[in-house]
Amino acid sequence: MILGVIADDFTGATDVASMLVRAGMHTVQVLGVPESGLPQADAVVIALKTRTSAPGDAVAQSLRALASLRAAGARQIYFKYCSTFDSTAQGNIGPVTDALMAALGTDFTIACPAFPENGRTVFRGHLFVGDVLLSDSGMRHHPLTPMTDSNLVRVLQAQTSHPVGLLRHDTIDGGATITQARMAQLRAEGLKIAVADALSNEHLMTLAEACAELPLLTAGSGVALGLPSAYARRGWFTPNANACDLDTLQGPAAVVSGSCSEATNAQVAQWLAAGRMALQVDPLALHSGQQTADTVLAQATQALAQGPVLVYATATPMSVRAVQQAIGVQAAGEQVEHALAHIAQGLVQAGVRRLVVAGGETSGAVVQALGVQQLRIGAAICPGVPWTQSTLAGSGEAVQLALKSGNFGGADFFAQALERAVVAL
Ligand code: ADP
């Protein structure tokens, strides 16, 4: 194994795996740290669900993942977080980075959530989502990790005991050698983590080349785009053009959506506007017992005969706030996640073989309910979201899952995914 990735949520894990596969690296994603050891692959991505855990728990799980990746011989470790730097005031990007650095005995790493193809760029340490600062984007309303400061040096500094510096875009413009020289300078100045700017794929490629031999990288999925070629240049592996092939499966299709992001709200609205079959999960009705996951599941299963069905809890920020005020942030999130996971499980039992899931936490809950332990990564539907294939624990049958991080995809993403319109990247 060349690269071992520790991802802080499930969709983030498929996102980074998709980047590696696209550049020809055979990549397997495992869900949690398997008891039985890791599979053979050029890269293994361990998907955790630690983004919003208590920092102590996130650190403990990340260190367990690190131990298994090191035992499997990983040459480099990559801590993958969201391209919008999703974290709570307590962490977990800082605490996990600190713990991984200590365990690896390294005194320098970078932090770079940039993913320019998806509109996430870092300029002078400030994160932009499209044309607006992170703090002006929809992320300021996120139900679990509202992001209200765009200055990543400041955000990260509040979460880590290590001094945080900045690796600027105009240095990276100078190429990998100049970037490495600047990193050495920052390190000599006593800085331990450098927030790295990136405005383009060229910046990501340069960063990957400059950082390919660091023991630890911390980033969104973007930096991974350049790693396979940086490894190939070092003669560590040969890229494989068929790294993303999956099987052709027969069976009904469905979408389960628990993300409340702007992008997902637009995707649900487009599905409804097209007059497609959809069922809404209402957190307040669930809470009062007026609605149950089983009644929604029964309706959804019946609807499958007419074509793909969408089951959604997706709602506007105003409606999410009202629900959270009524029953609490944590309770609302968990209740919806449990309901959607139960419905997804029932739909797969009813024969669904292609399932799109919108939302990072939601995907984590669905995948756990399905008992899926390992995902083969296929081609991308849009940047950051690949189709994946797994084997169901009981029946041994194959099922394909598209796990979409809330912010990703255009308004027609659901239909696009179900038509298997895989984009050539
Ligand atoms: P994203 O990828 O957009 O962050 P997630 O699934 O990670 O999406 O997070 C969305 C959270 O919001 C989940 O915990 C989900 O259960 C919760 N949620 C979904 N719908 C509602 C709603 N209508 N009211 C309150 N919370 C909701």
Q: What's the one-letter identity of residue 314?
A: T
- Confidence class of residue 244 from pLDDT cuts 50, 70 and 90? confident
- Residues 178 and 300 both lie in one domain: no
The predicted structure's pLDDT at residue 10? 83
Q: How far is CA 49 from CA 17, 33, 196, 229, 379, in A?
A: 16, 11, 25, 29, 23
Same domain, 257 and 151: no
Residues 281 and 400 in one domain: yes
For ligand 1, atom 11, name the residue with the nearest CA.
333
Ligand 1 centroid–CA 332 distance in Å is 8
pLDDT at position 89 over 90: no
Same domain, 221 and 348: no
For the stretch 266-290, pLDDT in tens is: 999 999 999 999 999 999 999 999 9
Domain boundary among 201, 233, 265: 233
Instruction: Identify whether residues 410 and 262 lie together within a single domain.
Output: yes
- Is there an atom of ligand 1 within 6 Å of 364 CB? no
Percent of the chain with pLDDT strictly greater than 90:
85
- Three-point CA angle 263, 268, 274, nearest 5°: 125
At residue 423, the pLDDT reads 45
Domain boundary pick from 233, 261, 289: 233
- C-alpha distances (whole Å) from 234 to each of 209, 212, 229, 237 are 10, 9, 9, 8
Residues 149 and 259 grouped into a single domain: no
Q: What is the pLDDT confidence band of residue 421, given thresholds at 50, 70 and 90?
A: very low
Judged against a pLDDT cut of 70, whether residue 181 lies above it is answered with yes
269 and 187 co-located in one domain:
no
Total domains in the chain come to 2
Give yes or no: residues 291 and 202 share one domain: no
pLDDT over threshold 50, residue 180: yes
Q: Is the C-beta atom of 311 inside 6 A of ligand 1?
A: no
Whether 38 and 78 map to the same domain: the answer is yes
Does residue 221 form part of some domain? yes
Q: What is the pLDDT of residue 302?
A: 97
Query: Rounded distance, CA 297 to CA 279, Å?
Result: 9
Q: In 10 A of CB 381, how many CB atoms?
A: 25
Q: Is residue 148 part of a domain?
A: yes
Query: Would you state the pLDDT for residue 404?
Result: 92
322: CATH: 3.40.980.20
Ligand 1 centroid–CA 148 distance in Å is: 18
- Cα gap 77→392, rounded to integer Å: 29
Q: Is residue 245 part of a domain?
A: no
Q: Answer whether residue 371 is part of any domain.
A: yes
Has residue 238 been placed in a domain? Answer: no
- Average pLDDT rounded to a whole number, residues 192-199: 98
The reply to whether 119 and 49 lie within a common domain is yes
What is the 8-class DSSP label of residue 66?
H
Residues 227, 259, single domain; the answer is: no
Strands (E), 184-315: 193-196, 216-219, 253-257, 278-280, 309-312
Q: Is any atom of ligand 1 closer than 6 Å to the C-beta of 320?
A: yes
Exposed e or buried b for every residue in 20-56, given b needs 16+ CB within 10 A? bbbbbbbbbbbbbbeeeebeebbbbbbbbbbbbbebe
Q: Rounded distance, CA 73 to CA 244, Å?
A: 23
pLDDT, residue 241, reads: 87
Q: 278-334 pLDDT, tens per residue?
A: 999 999 999 999 999 999 999 999 999 999 999 999 999 999 999 999 999 999 999
> In which domain, by residue range, is 282 found?
253-419
Report whether residue 323 contacts ligand 1, using a CB cutoff of 6 Å.
yes
Q: Residue 248 domain-assigned? A: no
For atom 10 of ligand 1, the residue with the nearest CA is 259
Confidence of residue 422 (pLDDT cuts 50, 70, 90): very low
Beta-bridge mates of residue 126: 123, 151
Final residue of a structural domain among 163, 198, 233: 233
Residue 239, domain member (yes or no): no
What DSSP line would sit under 164-189, residue for residue?
A: EEEE-HHHHTT-HHHHHHHHHHHHHT
CATH code for the domain of 219 = 3.40.50.10840
Q: What is the mean pLDDT of the chain?
A: 94
- The model's confidence at residue 160, banded by pLDDT at 50, 70 and 90, is very high
Strand partners, 165: 194
Tell me the best of 255, 319, 362 to mutate to test the pocket of ligand 1, counting ligand atoms within 8 Å of each CB and taking the most. Answer: 362
Tell me how long the chain is.
425
pLDDT in tens, 376-408: 999 889 988 999 999 987 788 999 999 998 988
- Shared domain check, 356 and 229: no
Report yes or no on 424 lying in a domain. Answer: no
Rounded to two decimals, what is the model's pTM?
0.83
